[in-house]
Structure 1
Amino acid sequence: MTSIKYNSVEYSGQSGKNSQVESGLGASTVTIKSYSTNVIKVSVVYGTLKHNLVFRYGNPNVYIFMNKADTSVTVSRYIVRVPADIFTNDEDEDTDWIPSDSTAVESGDVDGRSGQTWSKHYSGKMYGRTMDYDYVSYTNANVGMYLVRSNHEKASGGPFFRSLIRRGGSGGPDLYDIYHYNMGHTDVMRLGLQGPSILHFTDAGAAPNSNLFARKADWSWMDSLEIDGWVSSSGRGAVSGVGISNMKSGYQYVAALKNDDNQYWSVATGAWKITGVIPGTYTLTIYKAELEVHTSSVTVTAGATTARNTITCSDPEDTPAIWRIGAWDGTPKGFLNFDATPMLPTYMHPSDTRLKSWDAANYIVGTTATNGFPGYIFKDINNDHTVYFKLNTTQLATSAKIRFGVTEGQSGGRPTVTVNSWAATLQSDKGQSDTRSLTVGTYRGNNYVYEFTVPQTAWTQSTSEYQTLKLSVISGKTSTGYLSPGISIDAIDMINV
């Protein structure tokens, strides 16, 4: 879109760059069709990509669609580029508003000044996970400019995905709807129709129209617009559950569906329902916070609701522990630098001076608080962290198992352990994204548990002496500093074999 005017003000364009799919497509075939006196559709075809913009007369919205048939076109986002000097934000509050006098800290997209860091990646303070926001925006006294996200059914990453969604600075800000992002990604790149994402304006900075939000919108008026890949509500189904047992208080539970084609989710407070699902067979996952506590298969058919009986969660917290550091919830919440809300590393670089040193003191079970253990361990920064614990006579007479929960492994990072003079066999990488993650505001990866059985012969045979556990990050990769192999920790415990 080379021009976006609202109340005679131009809201598109930065130094020759426009609002567009990815960074622009090049020469394309463009057609315009009217569907009534009130609706027009602009169709753009670029190779195997089909891009549509829909407009309704007198309606302050642009409805944006993208249909990617294959990977020959590397587009996975829509960018609204806004001219400079329309919106001015507080750089101390908005960690994605880059100060003009900052300098590069990492890869040219993380900047710093006087120890503080900013980046377009740092969505954690303002917005957070995909399921936490309906839109991203900039506002002033004259206008509210909102990019309402699509339902992300063919995007990647699931409900907890964190990604760049807004970037500001003196050159003008951007708004994004990201469909697939190759940093910390957890899913395949899904192909097909994405949308609608909606560029939406209000007067005097007023709040957006909530009827546009993907979780509640009625798009039946689009059924006749001949949008390739469009599936009407009558062609969709639903899944519902009568309840969830073994839920723990203090945690949000989420029911989610995914396969290689689509993804959906809904908060589950007991009974739950996921609607608007394209027919197919899906993996159904129940999450306690962000930890998978149930998976099964479910098939959805058009015009019907598939019912599930009560689901019982399998929670690692239920296994009695000799000792435990952290809570099994799929996040590093509560650990060092993750003990505030929102969690600081989701909106600042790990080198930011507002964070406490990652090289924390040794951890003593029964004495040290959870926030005395680092939420991230980097091979090149704070490796070889030590935990001291004591065992009673019964425990000294048997083997035990150490469970090490990892939410994300950067650059092939994974844990290993030694206990006193005994060393565990090194384990292979269970599989994580092969991109930046921990430095771009996300601990979200694939939750894996590494288990190490410690033989009885490893113990120092004394109830009064401490056993010494050393936790280390290993990897075959050799990046340095905060880009070195690293892990984000869910929980660590020791249980009976």
Structure 2
Amino acid sequence: MPGSGSGAVPRRTVVLGSAAAAAGAALAGPLAGTASAAGFGWSDDGTHYVVDTGAQLVFKVSKTNGDLTSLVYRGTEYQGYGGKNSHVESGLGASTVTLRQSGPTILISVAYGTLRHYYAARSGENHLYLWTHKADDSVTATRYMVRVKAGMFLNDEPDSYTYAPTTIEASDVFRKADGQTRSKHYARRRVIDYDCVGWTTGSVGLWMVRSNHEKASGGPFYRSLLRHQSADGGGLYEILYYGENQTEPQRYGLQGPYVIAFTDGGAPPAALFPGTLTTPWADALGISGYVPASGRGRVAGVGIAGRDTAHPYTVALANSDAQYWTSARASDGWFSLGGVLPGTYTLTVFKSELAVHTSQVSVSAGATTTLNTLTIPAGNDPSDASTIWRIGEWTGTPSGFKNADLMTYAHPSDVRAAPWTGNVVIGGGEETSAFPCYLWKDVNSGLLVYFRLTAAQAAAAHTLRIGVTTAYAGGRPRVTVNDVWTSAVPAPPAQPGTRSLTVGSYRGNNHTFTYSVPASAWLTDSSRYNVLRIDVVSGSGTTGFLSAGTAVDAIDLLV
């Protein structure tokens, strides 16, 4: 058990996002830059390259397969659990591994088929810089995993299953004795929400600082594995591509740098964070696919008109080769995106996670593409429509719905979840919090919504809209009004084919279902409640929380 054993003391752990990490960066001290450090150098013990950064960090890389086999900081070994090393994916196999020193930089290169992986050490720094270049799909290189010995850190956060012995789904979702659930999938954070992930004892911190994800897939709101801990030890991840709940194809090319960083208990220096880190010292190292700052451009926008200032806005660029994003300034929508590879991109403006504007933009090396005020076209934000009633807000998320926040870090069966059943009455002011964020065919299909209409409203046909953020096993809503009118079964929109709702992610492809309800379906007595029944239909899925299901964005009845 982590923290147990002779002389062991309890350890604590934290995961830091951008703001918290930046606030704690001063604790870690500045980067060493190119300063020379006593002890910096490397040796060959016959089976490994052994590198001493001169900053109390010594690591070993296997000359056979490129695994990181040892990670010693201040005399303590942190690497390894269950007889496994730290490596790309689950290990590459026989590779060609070479080392080259260039002044205060040591670069270890690993060649495995078309894949290239790199470790770089800098004199006087207790950090290890990594790049991975994947040229095609001949190699399943989707992640780098730092494997940490048991007992070094304690993690009983949602992304841990150290103290959760009961398996409740597949082999990766667990229940503790108190009914709370744990899984390596329950990381809470979207990519846009964090710069680093790791653990600290208060005197030693071990962190994975993510790359800018320009060659990853899924965009700014993607959720994937960040870390985990079990009885055997812990893992820190940099996900290069993960097939679960993916909304777009894999990108190829160089991913990185991402950084394994040790500190004296605080967060890593903010200078290591994506968007801040610069590596001019790597420009001439010959890293495959490396593009220096001089080969990149910038996109800047003076503002965004037509925003709903109650919500944050994100501007993203994407094409088949790369992706980037940044937050728009709350006051006026100003934004600036640097370090962009040359090319033509689709620019998307998101209100929270809902796309409300798209356009095309071209980027050239060494230049800034300046955009005039972007105006969100009328009708692109579904919130602009006049409604008789609305449940939730159109944000591309199930935010505000029952259990919505919990579902980013727990299984739907978690003891903390409110009942998934229960009907909703319009007009009481608690419609959204009473409506479950997820609907499943085998759990709460057939949910009822009660509402009144005026005589004038009941005399006309109306459009009902149901927005969803993802679906599992083709789940989609069919509606019935007052048991006299039932909609056709809508066609299923394109959605990821893997688990989503049970592994902490509501993010798929936002889609709006529209239903034209005839006037003949409404009750003409304005004192009586109309009854809307929402069923989940699909021929796929299994049972319970793995039956066909969908996540709800908003539901409204238009004027």
**TM-score (ref. length: structure 1):** 0.95
2:226 alignment counterpart: 165
The alpha carbon displacement at 1:101 in A equals 5.3
Deviation at 1:97, TM superposition (A): 2.2
Aligned to 1:120: 184
Matched with 1:9 is 76
1:100 CA drift (Å): 4.2
In structure 2, C-alpha distance between the alignment counterparts of 1:455 and 1:315, rounded to whole Å: 25
SS across alignment from 1:4: strand
AA in 2 matched with 1:296: S
Q: Does 1:398 align with 2:460?
A: yes
Q: 2: distance between equivalents of 1:149 and 1:33?
A: 25
Alignment of 1:80-159 (within 5 A): 80-89=146-155, 91=156, 94-100=157-163, 102-114=165-177, 115-124=179-188, 128-159=189-220
Q: 1:216 aligned to 276, 282, 285, which one?
A: 276
Give secondary structure in 1 for the equivalent of 2:233.
coil
1:305 aligned residue? 368
User: Which digits, 9 at most, give the CA deviation of each residue in 1:10-29, with x for residues without a partner?
Assistant: 11111210110011011111
Q: Offset at 1:229?
A: 0.5
Contact conserved, 2:165 with 2:175, CA < 8 A, in 1?
Answer: yes
Write the distance in 2 (CA, Å) between the matches of 1:418 and 1:266: 42
Matches within 5 A, 1:443-482: 443-482=506-545
Do the aligned partners of 2:70 and 2:80 also contact (CA within 8 Å) in 1?
Answer: yes
Runs of 5+ consecutive residues of structure 2 not aligned to the other structure: 1-67
Shift of 1:358: 0.6
State the superposition RMSD in angstroms: 1.2
Shift of 1:206: 2.2
SS of the equivalent of 1:3 reads strand
**In the alignment, which of 403, 412, 415 is matched to residue 477 of structure 2?**
415
Out of 453-462 and 43-52, give the one that drifted further: 453-462
Task: Tell me which residue corresponds to 2:246.
Answer: 185
Q: Give, in angstroms, the shift of residue 387 of structure 1.
A: 0.8
Match status 1:384 vs 2:437: no
Deviations 1:232-274 (A, max 9, x none): 1111111111111121122111000111111100000211111
Q: Contact between 2:472 and 2:541, CA under 8 Å: does it hold in 1?
A: no
SS in 2 for 1:82: strand
Preserved CA contact (<8 Å) 2:163 2:176: no
Deviations 1:90-109 (A, max 9, x none): x2xx1122134511111110
SS in 2 for 1:436: coil
Code of the aligned partner of 1:280: G
**How much has 1:478 moved relative to structure 2?**
3.2
- The amino acid of 2:77's aligned partner reads E
CA distance in 1, matches of 2:541, 2:171: 20
Deviating 4+ runs (over 2 angstroms): none
| CA deviation string 1:149-175 (max 9, x = no partner) | 000001111111111101012211110
Aligned equivalents of 1:179 and 1:446: distance in 2? 20
Matched, 1:27 2:91: no
The equivalent of 1:237 in structure 2 is: 297
1:318 is displaced (CA, Å) by 0.9
Q: Which of these residues, 44, 54, 59, is aligned with residue 125 of structure 2?
A: 59
Superposed CA offset, 1:283-318 (max 9, x none): 111111111111111111111111222122231111
Q: For 2:556, what is the secondary structure of its paired residue?
A: strand
Secondary structure of 1:345's counterpart equals helix
Deviation at residue 192 of structure 1 after TM alignment? 0.7
Q: For 1:471 and 1:99, how far apart are their aligned partners in 2?
A: 39
Give the alignment partner of residue 355 of structure 1, picking from 411, 417, 422. Answer: 417
Figure out how many residues of one structure are paired with residues of the other and give that number.
483
Aligned to 1:364: 425
Shift of 1:326: 0.3
Q: Is the 8 A contact 2:327 2:335 kept in 1?
A: yes
Deviation string 1:84-123 (CA, Å, 9 cap, x unpaired) is: 111123x2xx112213451111111001123211000111
Q: Which amino acid aligns with 1:160?
A: F
The residue number in structure 2 matching 1:295 is: 358
Query: Per-residue deviation at 1:57?
Result: 2.0
Distance (whole Å) between structure 1 residues aligned to residue 335 and residue 226 of structure 2? 29
Alpha-carbon distance in structure 2 between the residues aligned to 1:321 and 1:308: 34
CA shift digits 1:181-208 (9 cap, x unpaired): 12211121111111111001112x1221
* Selected match of 1:266 from 297, 302, 326: 326
Q: Is the 8 A contact 2:164 2:182 kept in 1?
A: no
Larger Rg: 2
SS at match of 1:407: strand
* Distance in 2 separating the partners of 1:416 and 1:303: 52
Instruction: Please give the alpha-carbon distance, in whole angstroms, between the structure 2 residues aligned to 1:368 and 1:107.
Output: 39
SS in 2 for 1:187: coil
Identity percentage over the alignment?
49
CA–CA distance in structure 2, aligned partners of residues 296 and 225 of structure 1: 37
Instruction: Determine the C-alpha separation between the residues in 1 that align with 2:336 and 2:529.
Output: 50
Q: Tell me which residue corresponds to 1:321.
A: 387
Distance in 2 (CA, whole Å) between partners of 1:64 and 1:476 is 45
Match of 1:77 in 2: 143
1:50 aligns with 2:116: yes
- The separation in 1 between residues aligned to 2:307 and 2:202, in whole angstroms, is 45
Letter in 1 for 2:478: T
Q: Distance in 1 between matches of 2:117 and 2:289?
A: 11
Q: Distance in 1 between matches of 2:281 and 2:456?
A: 70
